[in-house]
Structure 1
Amino acid sequence: MSFRGGRGGARGGRGGRGGGRGGGRGGGRGGFREPEGPPAFVVELGSFMHACENEMVYKSTNDKVPYFNAGAFLENKTRIGKVDEILGSINEVMFTVKPDTGVSAASFHAGDKVYISPDKLLPLSRFTEKPGKKPTGGFGGRGGGRGGGRGGFSGRGRY
């Protein structure tokens, strides 16, 4: 095994550690995910206001905020689309749903309800809390605190 530099051998030839696509620390990007099936149960998310450019605009009736691209369902767990945009103020949240193929935005009427899986909701506090200063440990900055920095030539034999 090569200790420093060189080719990583079976690891893709990108340095001594990790290397290759998605190898080593941090891993690669996620791949394509299959569409999820209907959730075990759903909670009411909002009521239909109107259609706009083949999307449905809803006023939120839930005290939480939906994830982007979360599935939107009818009460019987039939998927109608996914959450596309989130609009409005913290006090009056609205959102749009991009309909799935075969679903027409014009077929909905004012007051129709939309539902969502409860695990696809974020609490409002996530958006309203002031970001606090995180406590820092002894050594900071890039490269860590154990002696030498990252890269470069130190001149002395610090390994």
Structure 2
Amino acid sequence: MNRGRGGFRGGRGGRTGPSQFQQGPPDTVLEMGSFMQSCEGDIVCRSINVKIPYFNAPIYLENKTQVGKVDEILGPVNEVFFTIKPSEGVQADSFKDGDKFYIGPDKLLPLERFLPKPKEFGTKPKKKSAGGGGRGGFGGRGGARGGRGGFGGRGGGRGGFGD
């Protein structure tokens, strides 16, 4: 009985072990950015850290009071800006130019992640195996039935005996 859409490809796999969701501020915080201005209720900051913050990473003051979460990341890789969506009760207008914001060290990505990978010299390109490309041939649509995909490769039969 052919179901049409290919075979079972496996699930996504569940999480193992206890949940790693962290409650409260981290043990240490790193300087992340300085206040520039408020814009439509958000806080706009210039990054002073060489690493890039995760989206939705919690942002703290130096005393580890949570101010909000990273909302957007802007600018070129050599001059990064980010916006903070303030937590409830925090006003973006209450900060002044130069105020510092902090982040947990586990919520940062290295800058290299956003740069193009250097080309590796000395490695030979892999050759594609014969067949399998496009329609027809073996490994194309319809498996080993021959050229142009064959019949009965998709969908059910048309009734009759043995379909």
- Match in the other structure for 1:121: 108
d(CA) in 1 for partners of 2:20, 2:140: 40
- Match in the other structure for 1:11: none
- Match in the other structure for 1:10: none
Q: Per-residue deviation at 1:124?
A: 1.6
Matched, 1:97 2:84: yes
C-alpha contact (below 8 Å) 1:83/1:97 kept by paired residues: yes
Q: Per-residue deviation at 1:73?
A: 0.8
d(CA) in 1 for partners of 2:20, 2:112: 31
- Match in the other structure for 1:57: 44
d(CA) in 2 for partners of 1:96, 1:129: 25
Q: Which has the higher contact order (CA 8 A, sep 6+)?
A: 2
Of all paired residues, the percent bearing the same amino acid is 52
Q: Per-residue deviation at 1:149?
A: 3.1
Q: Output the amino acid matched with 2:36.
A: M
Q: Output the amino acid matched with 1:155.
A: R
Q: Per-residue deviation at 1:102?
A: 1.3
Q: Output the amino acid matched with 1:41.
A: T
CA spacing shift, 1:128–1:109, aligned 2, 3 Å? same
* Greater shift in the superposed pair: 84-93 or 38-47: 84-93
d(CA) in 2 for partners of 1:81, 1:120: 14
Matched, 1:154 2:144: yes
CA spacing shift, 1:150–1:28, aligned 2, 3 Å? farther
d(CA) in 2 for partners of 1:126, 1:139: 29
CA offsets 1:99-135 (integer angstroms, 9 cap, x no match):
1111111111111110001111112222223354697
Q: Per-residue deviation at 1:53?
A: 0.4
Query: What is the RMSD computed on CA atoms of the aligned residues?
Result: 3.7
d(CA) in 1 for partners of 2:77, 2:8: 46
Within 5 Å, give how 1:1-159 maps onto structure 2: 17=8, 24-25=10-11, 27=12, 36-37=22-23, 38-130=25-117, 132=119, 149=139, 152-155=142-145
d(CA) in 1 for partners of 2:6, 2:113: 40
C-alpha contact (below 8 Å) 1:48/1:108 kept by paired residues: yes
Q: For structure 2, list consecutive stretches of 5 or more residues without a partner in the other structure.
A: 133-137, 147-163
d(CA) in 1 for partners of 2:14, 2:95: 38
TM-score normalised to the size of structure 2? 0.64
Q: Output the amino acid matched with 2:95.
A: F
Q: Per-residue deviation at 1:91?
A: 2.1
